[in-house]
Amino acid sequence: MSAQRVALVTGASSGIGAETARRLADAGWIVYAAARRTDRLEQLRGRQVRPLTMAVTDEASMTAGVQQVLAEAGRIDALVNNAGYGSYGAVEDVPLSEARRQFEVNLFGAARLVQLVAPGMRERGSGRIVNVSSMGGRFAMPFGAWYHATKFALEGFSDALRQELEPFGVQVVVIQPGAIRTEWGDIAAQSAVEASGQGAYADSARRVAEALEGASGSAPSVVAEAIAKAVTARRPRVRYAIGLGAKPATAAARLLPGRALDAIIARGIG
């Protein structure tokens, strides 16, 4: 059994997840870097990082992954629920099967891992659960209805979970990244065009796709640094809004009337 702190990080094959695995490993953690694309995990192998094959849409995969970590390391001190993607397209156009998949990846996968990991943390009286949401968990853009729905849901889920686990010494933290330089924008843009690139919403969908593809952003390392703070601070914040645009966007969503926020978003899309 390891005496070192142990973290399980999902969605670790690239972007924020990969940077988080590296950052925690540099800080002395044993990191299980989990993803379904195992070939891309090999770049992380070494020193403190141990690749772990896991699909957050597969019950057997998640159960086996957590059991492997516990068998090898004896504990999980931090769970970083980072796996997720953006499914875009008009509500009329996106099949409900895709909407359900978006929820399976962005919400229910995280929730199931919490169910698997939280009992051990609760029994030890310590632990951190970090759920990576988005600044889009506080406001919505057109064509992102299902993506935003999952992030709004993750925010509420995290608030309830935090209150449930805090009496047992387990802290729950939400990370709200802004625009970050990862594959996320290209994937979201492609899905918008595939779903709504033809028909009544075509022009608007293409403008949204161009905005998603062309957006500048912060390096994934800035989010990884915030996650590292969240899992090590004696009393972490409830939320960390981090990266390009995150703080002003979440503040605007909190303070502005809905129609005023709609107008600002519409101007930003063009």
In angstroms, the CA 209 to CA 194 distance is 10
| CB neighbour list of residue 22: distance below 8 Å, 6 or more residues apart | 44, 49, 224
Eight-class DSSP state of 95: -
CA–chain centroid gap for 258, Å, is: 25
In angstroms, the CA 119 to CA 76 distance is 10
Phi, psi of 245 (to 5 degrees): 85, -10
If one counts every other C-beta atom within 10 angstroms of the C-beta of residue 139, the result is: 21
| 147 has catalytic annotation | yes
Could you give the residue ranges of the DSSP H alpha helices within 27-144? 38-41, 59-73, 96-103, 109-124
Phi, psi of 236 (to 5 degrees): -70, 160
Could you give the residue ranges of the DSSP H alpha helices within the chain? 15-26, 38-41, 59-73, 96-103, 109-124, 145-165, 184-196, 202-214, 220-232, 246-255, 258-269
Which position among 32, 85, 88, 147 bears the catalytic label? 147
Residue 81 near residue 130, CB atoms below 8 Å: yes
Residues tagged active-site: 147
